[in-house]
Amino acid sequence: MNILFGVIALVIIFLVAGMSGVAGAAIPPPASGMPRRFRLFGVDLGDEAATLLETASRHGVDPSFLAALRKTENGGPGRELGVLSVSAPTLADQYDVAARSLANNEKRYTDVTGQSPVGGDGRLTPDFLRFFSARWAPVGASNDPTNLNSNHARNLESWYNRISLVAEDA
């Protein structure tokens, strides 16, 4: 299940070192035949891209998911990814908690359903995205008096379907 993300993580670790912080920014010269750039298509995270990619590679999780979660939550400083249950005052902390939660929920999903959270296309399945949302932003939570969580799964899936990480030659 995490093999694809592990491969992506190794490639990102190798190529992202020294990245300027903008999605699609030039990366130091690659080995022959290796792509020079990564781009998160479907979302502009500006200076956050480097933090997102580094965190995703460190935890072996799908960076497109983290980008989709960031856009779904759209929180202000210290709440960028909706982390409220533990102290995560910085953007890096927010991404770290979200990445660990994603990895933990991938395992939990497999344990509960007997299915892989990753579909045949190498991306997280819609069923897994709904599973994650039910835990991350439960409907009826006491910290959600206006019931925004009822839209979380739909918004997460919509963003995730628009975002992809693509390696490209410069």
Give just the sign of the alpha carbon dihedral 48, 62, 59, 143: positive
pLDDT exceeds 70 at position 140 = yes
Residue pLDDT, tens place only, 21-77: 333 322 233 333 433 345 667 777 888 888 998 999 999 999 999 999 999 999 999
Percent of all residues in the chain with a pLDDT value above 70, rounded to a whole number: 74
Average pLDDT, the chain: 79
Does residue 139 contact residue 5 with C-beta atoms inside 8 Å?
Answer: no
Does residue 72 contact residue 66 with C-beta atoms inside 8 Å?
Answer: no
Does residue 41 contact residue 167 with C-beta atoms inside 8 Å?
Answer: no
Does residue 62 contact residue 124 with C-beta atoms inside 8 Å?
Answer: yes
Specify the pTM: 0.75
Report the pLDDT averaged over residues 87-108: 96
User: Quick one: pLDDT band at residue 121, thresholds 50, 70, 90?
Assistant: very high
Core vs surface per residue 42-66: b (16+ CB within 10 A) or e: bbebeebbbbbbbbbbebbbbbbbb
Residue 42: which residues within 8 A CB-CB, separation 6 or more? 67, 159, 162, 163, 164
User: Quick one: pLDDT band at residue 160, thresholds 50, 70, 90?
Assistant: very high
Which H helix or E strand runs over 166? strand 164-168
Instruction: Map residue 79 onto helix, strand or coil.
Output: coil
